[in-house]
Structure 1
Amino acid sequence: MHTASIQQNILAELDHELAVIRKVLERVPEDQLDYQPHPKSMKLGQLAAHIVNLLAFKQLFVEKDERDFLDANAPKPGPTPTTSAELLARFDQYSASLRQALHDSSDEKLGQNFQLRRGDQVLMNRPKGAALRIMGLNHSIHHRGQLTVYLRLLDIPVPGVYGPSADEPGSF
């Protein structure tokens, strides 16, 4: 019996989630990027950009051993995209880069620890595979869920995520 590796399992899950995230991002209306459902909520454009930028953050888990939020020289995401085309282009670029980093990795490397810090304060210390799953994929899934609520509030059809959507013809 052949058992899939950690790397293969993460790649398979990532491929599924990336396809769903892209479907949701394709629905983000360019003329509503400043929409904010509550004063404590991110604006629609910020939330969509955050979801995309998390892909680069996930890549850090795979390629690096640590990330310090107080490091002024640490890589930072580019400016918030102002068009749907920019948002989707960045998504495609970051997705391809993350997939390549995972493809170039191994179970052994994914078993090594990654530490997320704020100066001397350790925020997370986990194997890279677990960090990618917990702080990477789960984090993106959480924000994608928020984004679907924004779409619903704006009366924009919500695509199916793990099954049919009430907005897709013939779903129910």
Structure 2
Amino acid sequence: MHTASIQQNILAELDLELASTRRILERVPYDTQADWKPHPKSMTLAQLAAHVVNLLAFNTLFVQHESRDFLDPNAPKPGPRPTSLEELLARFDDYSAQLRQALHETDDEKLTHNFRLHRGEHTIVERTKGAAIRIMGLNHSIHHRGQLTVYLRLLDVPVPGLYGPSADEQGSF
């Protein structure tokens, strides 16, 4: 019996989640509702959609580096907020390709090394790279993707199914 490696498991899960995330992002009414938010404390639609996309770059950071210091002015940062849905989707495709490439270039042994997220000397979290990708990367992205589906629902935008048909694909409940 062959057991899939850590790398293979992450890549398989990533492919599934990226396809679902792209379907959600494609529905974002970016050009007409970018500044909409459901509550004063919430992110705008554009901020939330960009955050979901930018988390892919954070995942690549987990794979390729040993740490990230939020106080480091030279640390990589995402580009400016996309100005259109096309720009958002282009960034999503670019960051997805970069993450897949980084994962293909790593191996299970490297994924067991620790990644430290910190602010100066204060450690925010330290986990193996594989766990960081799953917990701080994929799970975090899935959480915000879920928020994005609520935004779409509140804006009366049909929500695509993620792990099965959505209410929009089945009719109403």
Instruction: Give unpaired runs (5+ residues) of structure 2.
Output: none
Structure 1 residue 107 and structure 2 residue 108: aligned?
yes
Question: For the residues of structure 2 that align with 1:171 and 1:69, how far apart are their CA atoms?
Answer: 45
Are the equivalent residues in 2 in contact too, given 1:24–1:148 (CA < 8 A)? Answer: yes
Question: For the residues of structure 2 that align with 1:36 and 1:2, how far apart are their CA atoms?
Answer: 48
Q: Secondary structure at the match of 1:133?
A: helix
Question: For the residues of structure 2 that align with 1:171 and 1:33, how far apart are their CA atoms?
Answer: 27
Structure 1 residues 40 and 112: CA distance shift in structure 2, 3 A:
same
Are the equivalent residues in 2 in contact too, given 1:49–1:81 (CA < 8 A)? Answer: yes
C-alpha displacement of 1:169: 4.6
What one-letter code is carried by the residue in structure 1 that aligns with 2:132? A
* Aligned position for 1:166: 167
**Deviations 1:78-121, CA, capped at 9 Å, x for gaps:** 01011010000000000000000001000000000000001110
Question: For the residues of structure 2 that align with 1:52 and 1:40, how far apart are their CA atoms?
Answer: 21
Question: For the residues of structure 1 that align with 2:116 and 2:28, how far apart are their CA atoms?
Answer: 33
RMSD: 1.1
* Aligned position for 1:15: 15
Matches within 5 A, 1:126-145: 126-145=127-146
* Aligned position for 2:123: 122
Seq. identity, %: 74
Number of corresponding residues: 172
What one-letter code is carried by the residue in structure 1 that aligns with 2:93? D
Question: 4+ runs of 1 displaced by more than 3 Å?
Answer: 169-172
* Aligned position for 2:96: 95
Q: TM-score, normalised by structure 1?
A: 0.98
* Aligned position for 1:4: 4
* Aligned position for 1:33: 34
Question: For the residues of structure 2 that align with 1:121 and 1:73, how far apart are their CA atoms?
Answer: 18
C-alpha displacement of 1:170: 6.4
Question: For the residues of structure 1 that align with 2:149 and 2:72, how far apart are their CA atoms?
Answer: 33
Question: For the residues of structure 1 that align with 2:145 and 2:64, how far apart are their CA atoms?
Answer: 24
